[in-house]
């Protein structure tokens, strides 16, 4: 193909260098493809969200996913699902009507592919020197097992980048993908980008893999899809600011079907005073949550925190000013290792009396005291068991606390402010089990793939410890499929 001035040609272009992008690039290059990565960040901060996360995998061991893996993902497939669509998805994929193939819910094909490819992907990652172990997490109570790469997400992307360089993958840092189009009648794709100096750079390839994350770094898209609550939300780590949604927008403009819940996101309880990565306050189950009006607004402890922190944290954004406080008394010391779940580098707000604590938190004292008094009166007698669901529930409150309910009455008292931190957005584009982007008529768009957060999957509640895993799994799958496509076209 004759290239225009400044135009570069590759077999596979990968947009993004997080776990999904690097897995795709290494897999494609291993299969013999000429590969380039387009990365918005500079070389010191490449890696998207993966750089900043522990990168938990929802696995019992390197060979097995958790027992509830598929059940959790399917049970969070969306609200008010059409029985006809659910029934159709029970049959062979080839027989699904086009509108079912294009439907945004996480279909059984995707869930099974993620589950069945998890162990082989871990084994593949190990070949690059990445080690996995069942290391301690920041959850005091946890319902699911978690496998973790030693060194977290940073260790993964560093090992994969080393391998990518060995395979002669080109990385274009400080380069932003802007526009995607069909380059010619042969089926090639063109990608228009802006380089580090603001100059236009043009690329062509037989395949493009969108692995550029969600849109949590784009206030316009956040407000468009999440509404006014978006103004109270901020990324839990710097990597989120690089995720501005262009990859999703380009794929949608190319005809991709949307998938995942565009009006929701994966949330974590974040201390707004801190600039540290994932400055979490993850032990609210043992205290009382109050909003800026001094009132409770949610069941703090419906079950293990690793199951429920996502939707509870999102509820913070629906409260006045998008900020709440978790309140404790000295009895929190009865919870073993409770400080492990406090990731903020900022101190607690402390006082000798509840009234003084309310004033220090700038809460209305009378309303706050009325809330705490009502809560204390509703706490039952019974055995407190901090490391298991104990059923110690309040009695008679309109908003119950289902477990670990003990009076807040023994000073000193302390509190942490919390806002909804965003890990990633749920909305993206529909893909099939090969990572191909599906159009609104249920057909794969030739040469276009998506993996990681750009591929919509989640609704309702995030299934913990699956995001980095799915990025690695479908990044690898997409890279191999794209490389095979390039080889077939060259044969």
Give the tens place of pLDDT for each residue, 225-251: 999 989 999 999 999 999 999 999 999
Find the mean pLDDT for residues 309-324: 96
Question: When comparing pLDDT for 139 and 310, which is higher?
Answer: 310
Question: When comparing pLDDT for 145 and 269, which is higher?
Answer: 269
**Whole-number pLDDT of residue 490:** 85
Helix ranges restricted to H, 132-202: 152-166
**Whole-number pLDDT of residue 143:** 62
For residue 97, give both structure tokens. 């009507």
- In this predicted structure, the answer to whether residue 357 has a pLDDT above a threshold of 90 is yes
Find the mean pLDDT for residues 328-342: 93
Find the mean pLDDT for residues 206-226: 97
| Confidence band of 4 (pLDDT split at 50, 70, 90) | very low
Q: Taking Cα atoms as reference points, which of 176, 161, 211 lies closest to residue 40?
A: 176
Domains of the chain: 7-264+426-490 (3.50.50.60), 268-421 (3.90.700.10)
Name the one residue in this structure whose structure tokens are 């809460």: 363
3-class DSSP assignment, residue 184:
coil
| Confidence band of 60 (pLDDT split at 50, 70, 90) | very high
C-alpha dihedral, 56 to 60 to 65 to 67, nearest 10°: -120
- In this predicted structure, the answer to whether residue 3 has a pLDDT above a threshold of 50 is no
Strands (E), 109-226: 132-133, 148-149, 170-172, 176-182, 189-194, 200-210
Name the one residue in this structure whose structure tokens are 């995998």: 57
- In this predicted structure, the answer to whether residue 78 has a pLDDT above a threshold of 90 is no
- In this predicted structure, the answer to whether residue 394 has a pLDDT above a threshold of 50 is yes
Instruction: Tell me which of 185-199, 393-407, 432-446 is least confident.
Output: 185-199
For residue 451, give both structure tokens. 């993996």
Contacts for 321 with CB less than 8 Å, ≥ 6 apart: 232, 292
| Confidence band of 203 (pLDDT split at 50, 70, 90) | very high
Per-residue pLDDT tens over the stretch 112-131 = 999 999 999 999 999 999 99
- In this predicted structure, the answer to whether residue 371 has a pLDDT above a threshold of 80 is yes
- In this predicted structure, the answer to whether residue 414 has a pLDDT above a threshold of 60 is yes
**Whole-number pLDDT of residue 377:** 98
Find the mean pLDDT for residues 26-51: 97
| Confidence band of 5 (pLDDT split at 50, 70, 90) | very low
- In this predicted structure, the answer to whether residue 6 has a pLDDT above a threshold of 70 is no
CA 431, CA 182: separation in Å to the nearest integer?
Answer: 19
Q: Taking Cα atoms as reference points, which of 40, 15, 8, 11 lies closest to residue 28?
A: 11
CB atoms within 10 A of CB 134: 13
Instruction: Tell me which of 105-109, 110-114, 320-324, 369-373 is least confident.
Output: 105-109
The CA distances from residue 316 to 32, 115, 306, 354, 464, in Å, are: 48, 32, 17, 22, 19
Contact criterion met (CB below 8 Å) for 489 and 206? yes
| Confidence band of 372 (pLDDT split at 50, 70, 90) | very high
- In this predicted structure, the answer to whether residue 491 has a pLDDT above a threshold of 80 is no
**Whole-number pLDDT of residue 142:** 67
- In this predicted structure, the answer to whether residue 184 has a pLDDT above a threshold of 90 is no
| Confidence band of 139 (pLDDT split at 50, 70, 90) | confident
**Whole-number pLDDT of residue 185:** 77
**Whole-number pLDDT of residue 2:** 34
Across all residues in the chain, what is the average pLDDT?
94
Find the mean pLDDT for residues 97-114: 93
**Whole-number pLDDT of residue 1:** 32
């Amino acid at each position: 193909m004759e290239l225009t001035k400044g135009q570069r040609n590759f077999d596979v272009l990968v947009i993004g260098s997080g776990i999904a992008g690097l897995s795709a690039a290494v897999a494609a290059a291993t299969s013999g493809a000429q590969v380039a990565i387009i990365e918005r960040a500079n070389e010191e901060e490449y890696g998207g969200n993966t750089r900043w996360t522990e990168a938990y995998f929802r696995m019992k061991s390197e060979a097995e996913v958790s027992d509830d893996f598929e059940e959790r993902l399917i049970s969070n497939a969306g609200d008010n699902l059409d029985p006809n669509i659910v029934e159709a998805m029970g049959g062979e994929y080839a027989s699904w009507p086009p509108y079912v193939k294009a439907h945004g819910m996480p279909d059984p094909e995707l869930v099974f592919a993620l589950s069945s490819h998890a162990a082989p992907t871990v084994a593949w990652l190990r070949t690059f020197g990445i080690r996995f172990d069942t290391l301690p997490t920041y959850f005091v109570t946890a319902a699911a097992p978690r496998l973790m790469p030693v060194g977290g997400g940073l260790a993964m992307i560093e090992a994969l980048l080393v391998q990518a360089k060995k395979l002669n993958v080109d990385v274009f840092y400080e380069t932003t993908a802007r526009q995607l189009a069909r380059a010619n009648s042969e089926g090639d794709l063109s990608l228009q980008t802006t380089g580090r100096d603001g100059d236009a750079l043009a690329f062509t390839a037989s395949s493009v893999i969108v692995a550029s994350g969600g849109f949590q770094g784009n206030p316009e898209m956040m407000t468009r899809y999440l509404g006014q609550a978006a103004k109270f939300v901020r990324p839990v780590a710097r990597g989120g600011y690089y995720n501005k949604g262009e990859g999703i927008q380009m794929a949608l403009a190319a005809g991709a079907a949307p998938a995942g819940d565009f009006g929701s996101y994966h949330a974590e309880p974040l201390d707004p005073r801190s600039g540290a990565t994932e400055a979490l306050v993850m032990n609210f189950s043992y205290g009382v949550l109050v909003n800026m009006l001094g009132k409770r607004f949610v069941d703090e402890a419906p079950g293990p925190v690793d199951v429920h922190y996502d939707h509870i944290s999102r509820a913070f954004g629906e409260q006045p000013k998008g900020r709440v406080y978790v309140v404790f008394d000295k009895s929190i010391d009865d919870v073993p290792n409770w400080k492990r779940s406090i990731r903020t580098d900022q101190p607690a707000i402390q006082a000798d009396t509840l009234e003084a604590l309310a004033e220090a938190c700038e809460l209305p004292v009378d309303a706050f005291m009325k809330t705490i008094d009502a809560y204390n009166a509703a706490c039952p007698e019974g055995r407190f068991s901090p490391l298991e669901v104990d059923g110690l529930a309040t009695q008679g409150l309109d908003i119950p606390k289902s477990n670990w309910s003990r009076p807040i009455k023994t000073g000193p008292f302390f509190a942490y402010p919390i806002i909804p931190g965003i890990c990633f957005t749920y909305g993206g584009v529909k893909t099939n089990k090969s990572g191909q982007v599906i159009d609104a008529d249920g057909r794969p768009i030739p040469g276009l793939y998506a993996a990681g957060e750009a591929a919509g999957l989640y609704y309702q509640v995030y299934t913990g410890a699956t995001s980095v895993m799915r990025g690695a799994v479908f990044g690898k799958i997409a890279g191999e499929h794209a490389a095979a496509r390039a080889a077939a076209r060259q044969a």
